[in-house]
Each structure stands twice: as structure tokens, then as C-alpha cells.
């Protein structure tokens, strides 16, 4: 499979010297910039700009017919965000100032050294990408609609915060910059990474790699491959997964566990877009999009010296933080329905009907394992289900195993702050007042469900009813 051209939109080279244009093309292609269009006549530039969208322009100043001085304002007027690097054989400060005032991005004097040309052009492409990203972000964040809703089909949600996250992903999906996906264990970071890949429209593969526990040699061999004879047992050439991800997305999970030597190699890959196969002295270039994920706090690791600061800032060019399930409990009924249906389908069973109290029970639990934990609960429940309404016992047992206590109690993370009357400077309520406060709080937490409220209070439904009747009777007597 041939490598996709880089950048996405071509670089336009304008010079009347055909030999110099060929040298430029050779230099750029050797550095991985393969999407190039050449032009030997300044008067053809306007027509080319109508036919193509360009990412950068290298413009000779002195040309017959239409000079670069006349072409520059045409380009700037048509596309002010397009960086134009002016190249001239005349080293005059006044000319350089005029070009910069006219909208040139940079100014270079012939003969131009290869490294200076490549540095200037790479910087121009980076600036072009930042400008494009800002425009995309503005357009998407001001919009309330998703342009590619199908890309997020595997992420089951009706949460407003998640929808905002999807809009942000759409805005950054088409950029080549790395993306850092963070979130607790089980929130669905790989699903988010796949959504990023789908929304990007990249034609290459999505290649996931879990790098937890990999030493430097295994990491390098897995990602970059090796040449024949690189080490004992390397009898053939092996291509790394970075080549498989060419034109697509390389997803590195558990990036917080990466060892220090591998961090150096990943930094080079992210920063220079190049890598070395084991045993090779020749650098290879890649245009694979890099998405990384972790459930660890990289800022803490960075401060402790366990994660490189330069790599951290390179990786978080864009940052997507996936919220835990306890912060989007409104999705519980959707997720429950989704996982019950999927598990029943895989087991060739009829989808069971969950009792109304089940969502209320689950909403009192903190879900330390997040969506993955809920999915496991549903599979376990369906596997033992026979017929009729789904039993809540497997869910209660799962919560009890995690909390080490009675499953009907809420998790510590779900408890509300202590009431004001427990503060030392507040008077204590009477026993009857405290009883009423507890009942009201239990009903509030269970959305008025008396069965669940009685379980939270550790009393029977009948006892709760007696208390409620007593409270109502006293209110009627006062009235």
C-alpha cells in the first residue's frame, strides 16, 4: 500500500528556475513532504489557487512576466491564513520589510541551505495547522449539531457534557497533532480513540497497542520493527506497528507506564515524525496520527521525574478527558438497556426486563470500575437469568463484593455532605426531627421509591409507611 501524501493539501513552489524547483522537490520529499506542486510562471498562481487548497507557498521574488512582489498580495488577499515564504537572490533589508508588511510569513535569501528551507517550511505547516484548528474549533463549538454522529455510535450517552466532548473531538479529529485521552479505568478511552480515528476520515488502519509492562526492547521492536540480524533470533525483517498505522491512527494505551528510555524514542517519533527500526541507522518517516491514553495523572508523574516534561507537553497538543460514570448517572438507563440487549444477544437469550428499582439501586453506587464494571454486572445477571423480570440479586452481590458491606447502602463516593446539624456550632435536632430528616433524605436519593428508601434506612417497607403516615398525620393536625 502506497503511503498517503503529506501534508494533506499540497505545498506550492513558485520559481522560474526549473532546476532549482527540481532540487526543492527532491529535498522536500527526502524529508517526507511529498505533496508538492511546482509552478514556473507567477501568472499561473491565481489559477492554481482556484483549483487547489494549499498548506504553504514558497515564492521566488524575481520572476519575468509576473514577479513575486505582485503575486504575494494576490495570495494574501485570497487566503490570508496561508503562510507564504518569500525567497530572493537580493539581500536587502528594505525588500524584506516590504514583503513582511505585505503578509509574507518568512523571508529567505538564496542560496538557501537545505536545513533552513526545511525548518522554515515545517514551521509554516505547523502555523497553518494551528490556524485551521482554531477555525474548526470555533465553528464546531458554536454549533449544537454533530456533523459525523455515526463516528460516536459506540459511545452510548445522552449526557450534555459528553455531547460537548464529541463536538470538541470533531473539531480536532482532522489535525495531525497528538491527542491525549485521560480518564479512570473503564470509562471507554479506547472507544473515544476509535471515534477520533473515524471522525478524522483517515484511510489507514486504527492500530491499538497496550504498552503497560513493555521493556524498552519489546516496545521498540513492537512499534518500530527490526532489520535482519538486529539481535539473536532476528532472521527476517519485521515491520513495526507504526508502519501498519501509516495513513491511519496509532493508539498507545497506558502511556503513563512507559519507561524512561522508551519515552525518549516516543518523543522523537512525535516531534520529528521519524523513527529507527532496531539494528538500522536509517531513519524512517511516518504520517500516522498518534493518540495516547492513560488513567494516571501525567502531571504528577512529570513532577516526580517519572515522565518527561517535553514529552508530556508534546502529547497533550489536544486533551480529551472522559468523565467517570458517577458524573453521568443520567446515562444509566441507556447503558443498562444497551448491555442487557448485547449480552442477551451473545448468549442467544431473550432480552430480560429490568425491574424499575434497578436504576435507583445502581445510582446509589460509585462505580469505581465505571462502564466496564456495569457491563460485567449485566453479563453476569443475564447469564443466570431464566425468565420473567431480571433479578437484582446479582447486582446487589457485585456491589457488596466491591464495598465489603450490605449492597443496598450507597457507596461512599455517592454520599451527600453531612447535614448542617452535625456541625458543632449548630443545635442538635430532636429524635423525631432527625428521624424525619433521614426519611426525607432517603426518599430524595431514591427519587421517591419507598422500597429502595426503606432498604437504605435498614427498615422494612411497612415500617417506613408507618413513619410516613405518622408524619402526614402530624402535619394535618398542625394545619
Q: Tell me the three state secondary structure of residue 106.
A: strand
Residues 408, 468: one domain?
Answer: no
The verdict on residue 365 lying in a domain is yes
Residues 111, 31: one domain?
Answer: yes
Give the domain-ending residue among 292, 323, 354.
323
The verdict on residue 213 lying in a domain is yes
Number of neighbouring beta carbons within 10 Å of residue 465: 12
The verdict on residue 67 lying in a domain is yes
For 330-374, write each residue's pLDDT tens digit: 899 999 999 999 999 999 999 998 988 888 888 888 899 999 999
What pLDDT score does 412 carry? Answer: 38
Choice among 77-86, 221-230, 469-478 with the minimum mean pLDDT: 469-478
Q: Exposed, middle or buried by CB within 10 Å (0-12, 13-18, 19+), for 168?
A: middle
Residues 339, 317: one domain?
Answer: no
Give the domain-ending residue among 271, 303, 323.
323
For 171-208, write each residue's pLDDT tens digit: 888 888 899 999 999 999 999 999 999 999 898 999 99
What pLDDT score does 60 carry? Answer: 93
Q: Give the separation between CA 393 and CA 398, rounded to whole angstroms.
A: 9
* Phi-psi region at 248: left, alpha or beta (left = phi > 0; alpha = psi -120 to 50): beta
Whether the Cβ atoms of residue 125 and residue 273 lie closer than 8 Å to each other: no
Closest Cα to residue 142, out of 171, 103, 174, 183? 171
For 34-59, write each residue's pLDDT tens digit: 899 999 999 999 999 999 999 999 99
What pLDDT score does 422 carry? Answer: 55
Q: What is the CATH number of the domain that holds 463?
A: 1.10.10.60
Give CB contacts under 8 A, 24+ apart, made by 107-113. Answer: 112/87
Rg, the chain, Cα only = 31
Mean per-residue pLDDT, 445-469: 77
Residues 354, 469: one domain?
Answer: no
Residues 189, 100: one domain?
Answer: no
Residues 71, 183: one domain?
Answer: no
What pLDDT score does 416 carry? Answer: 45
The verdict on residue 138 lying in a domain is no
Q: Please give the share of the chain, as a percent, with pLDDT higher than 70.
A: 92
Q: What is the CATH number of the domain that holds 219?
A: 3.40.50.300
Give the domain-ending residue among 81, 101, 133.
133
How many independent structural domains does the chain possess? Answer: 4
417 pLDDT more than 80: no
Instruction: Calculate the average pLDDT of the chain.
Output: 87
Residues 370, 312: one domain?
Answer: no
The verdict on residue 4 lying in a domain is no
What pLDDT score does 407 carry? Answer: 42
Confidence band, pLDDT 50/70/90 cuts, at residue 30 = confident
Half-sphere exposure in the Cβ direction for 29 (13 Å, CA): 14
430 pLDDT more than 90: no
Q: Give the separation between CA 38 and CA 291, rounded to whole angstroms.
A: 33
1 pLDDT more than 60: no
The verdict on residue 222 lying in a domain is yes
The verdict on residue 3 lying in a domain is no
For 223-249, write each residue's pLDDT tens digit: 999 988 888 888 888 999 999 999 899
409 pLDDT more than 50: no
Residues 180, 236: one domain?
Answer: yes
Residues 180, 278: one domain?
Answer: yes
Residues 358, 214: one domain?
Answer: no
256 pLDDT more than 90: yes
Residues 156, 85: one domain?
Answer: no
For 299-326, write each residue's pLDDT tens digit: 999 999 999 999 999 998 899 999 999 9
Question: Domain range spanning residue 109?
Answer: 11-133
Angle at which helices 461-478 and 450-457 cross, to 10°: 100
Residues 40, 55: one domain?
Answer: yes
What pLDDT score does 320 carry? Answer: 95
Confidence band, pLDDT 50/70/90 cuts, at residue 420 = low
Amino acid at each position: 500500500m502506497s503511503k498517503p501524501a503529506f501534508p494533506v493539501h499540497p505545498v506550492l513552489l513558485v520559481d522560474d528556475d526549473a532546476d532549482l524547483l527540481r532540487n526543492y522537490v527532491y529535498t522536500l520529499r527526502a524529508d517526507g513532504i511529498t505533496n508538492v506542486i511546482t509552478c514556473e510562471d507567477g501568472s499561473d498562481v491565481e489559477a492554481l489557487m482556484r483549483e487547489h487548497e494549499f498548506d504553504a507557498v514558497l515564492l521566488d521574488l524575481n520572476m519575468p512576466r509576473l514577479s513575486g512582489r505582485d503575486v504575494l498580495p494576490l495570495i494574501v488577499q485570497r487566503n490570508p491564513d496561508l503562510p507564504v515564504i518569500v525567497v530572493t537572490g537580493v539581500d536587502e533589508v528594505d525588500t524584506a520589510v516590504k514583503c513582511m508588511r505585505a503578509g509574507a510569513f518568512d523571508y529567505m535569501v538564496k542560496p538557501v541551505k537545505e536545513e533552513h528551507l526545511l525548518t522554515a517550511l515545517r514551521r509554516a505547516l505547523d502555523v497553518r495547522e494551528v490556524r485551521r484548528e482554531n477555525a474548526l474549533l470555533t465553528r464546531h463549538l458554536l454549533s449544537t449539531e454533530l456533523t459525523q454522529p455515526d463516528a460516536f455510535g459506540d459511545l452510548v450517552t445522552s449526557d450534555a457534557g459528553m455531547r460537548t466532548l464529541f463536538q470538541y473531538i470533531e473539531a480536532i479529529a482532522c489535525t495531525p497533532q497528538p491527542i491525549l485521552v485521560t480518564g479512570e479505568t473503564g470509562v471507554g478511552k479506547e472507544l473515544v480513540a476509535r471515534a477520533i480515528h473515524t471522525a478524522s476520515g483517515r484511510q489507514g488502519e486504527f492500530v491499538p497497542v497496550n504498552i503497560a509492562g513493555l521493556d524498552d526492547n519489546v516496545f521498540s521492536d513492537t512499534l518500530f520493527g527490526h532489520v535482519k540480524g538486529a539481535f539473536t533470533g532476528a532472521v527476517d525483517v519485521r515491520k513495526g506497528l507504526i508502519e501498519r498505522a501509516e495513513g491511519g491512527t496509532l493508539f498507545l494505551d497506558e502511556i503513563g507506564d512507559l519507561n524512561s528510555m522508551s519515552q525518549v524514542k516516543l518523543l522523537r517519533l512525535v516531534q520529528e515524525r521519524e523513527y529507527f527500526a532496531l539494528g538500522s541507522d536509517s531513519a524512517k518517516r511516518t504520517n500516522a496520527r498518534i493518540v495516547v491514553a492513560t488513567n494516571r495523572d501525567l502531571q504528577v508523574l512529570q513532577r516526580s521525574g517519572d515522565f518527561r516534561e517535553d514529552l508530556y507537553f508534546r502529547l497533550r497538543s489536544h486533551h480529551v478527558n472522559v468523565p467517570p460514570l458517577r458524573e453521568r448517572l443520567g446515562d444509566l438507563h441507556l447503558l443498562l438497556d444497551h448491555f442487557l440487549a448485547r449480552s442477551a444477544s451473545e448468549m442467544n437469550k431473550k432480552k430480560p426486563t429490568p425491574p424499575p428499582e434497578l436504576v435507583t439501586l445502581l445510582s446509589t453506587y460509585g462505580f469505581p470500575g465505571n462502564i466496564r464494571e456495569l457491563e460485567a454486572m449485566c453479563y453476569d445477571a443475564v447469564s443466570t437469568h431464566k425468565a420473567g423480570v431480571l433479578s437484582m440479586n446479582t447486582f446487589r452481590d457485585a456491589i457488596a463484593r466491591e464495598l465489603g458491606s450490605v449492597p443496598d447502602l450507597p457507596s461512599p463516593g455517592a454520599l451527600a455532605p453531612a447535614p448542617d446539624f452535625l456541625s458543632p456550632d449548630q443545635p442538635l435536632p430532636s429524635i423525631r426531627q432527625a428521624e424525619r430528616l433521614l426519611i426525607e433524605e432517603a426518599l430524595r436519593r431514591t427519587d421517591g421509591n419507598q422500597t429502595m428508601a426503606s432498604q437504605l434506612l435498614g427498615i422494612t417497607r411497612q415500617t417506613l409507611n408507618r413513619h410516613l403516615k405518622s408524619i402526614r398525620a402530624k402535619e394535618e393536625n398542625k394545619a
